[in-house]
Amino acid sequence: MDFKPLVTLLAIVNPLACVAFFIHYTQSFSPEQRRHTILISSCSAFAVIAASALLGVQILEFFGVSLASFQVGGGMLLLTASLSMLNAETPQTKTNSDELHDAEERAAQGASIAVVPLTIPLLTGPATMSTVVIYADKAKTFWQMATLIGYGVVVALATALCFSLAGPIARALGKTGINVMTRLMGLVLAALAVELMADGLSKLFPVLRGNA
User: Domain-by-domain residue ranges, the chain?
Assistant: 31-203
Reported as a single tens digit per residue, the pLDDT across 197-210 is 888 899 888 887 76
Residues in the chain, overall count: 212
Under 8 Å CB-to-CB from 185, ≥6 apart: which residues? Answer: 17, 20, 21, 24, 85
pLDDT for the residue 94: 33
**Confidence at 164, pLDDT banded by 50, 70, 90:** very high
pLDDT for the residue 49: 95
pLDDT for the residue 110: 46
pLDDT for the residue 107: 55
> Does residue 109 have a pLDDT over 60?
no
Does the pTM surpass 0.85? The reply is no
**Ranges 50-54, 109-113, 143-147: which has the least confidence:** 109-113
| Distance, CA of 20 to CA of 101 (rounded, Å) | 26
Q: In degrees to the nearest 10, what's the CA dihedral of 126, 158, 165, 191?
A: -20
**Ranges 5-19, 65-79, 87-101: which has the least confidence:** 87-101
pLDDT for the residue 1: 65
Reported as a single tens digit per residue, the pLDDT across 14-27 is 887 788 888 888 88
**Confidence at 163, pLDDT banded by 50, 70, 90:** very high
Q: Using a pLDDT cut of 90, give the percent of the chain over it.
A: 21
**Confidence at 154, pLDDT banded by 50, 70, 90:** very high
DSSP state string for the chain: ---HHHHHHHHHH-GGGGHHHHHHHTTT--HHHHHHHHHHHHHHHHHHHHHHHHHHHHHHHHHT--HHHHHHHHHHHHHHHHHHHHTT-------SHHHHHHHHHHHHTTHHHIIIIIIIIIIS-HHHHHHHHHHHHH--SHHHHHHHHHHHHHHHHHHHHHHHTHHHHHHHHHHHHHHHHHHHHHHHHHHHHHHHHHHHHHHH-GGGG---
> Does residue 77 have a pLDDT over 70?
yes
Highest mean pLDDT among 111-115, 143-147, 192-196: 143-147
When pLDDT is averaged across residues 23-51 and rounded to a whole number, the result is 90
**Confidence at 105, pLDDT banded by 50, 70, 90:** low
pLDDT for the residue 59: 84
CB 28 within 8 A of CB 103: no
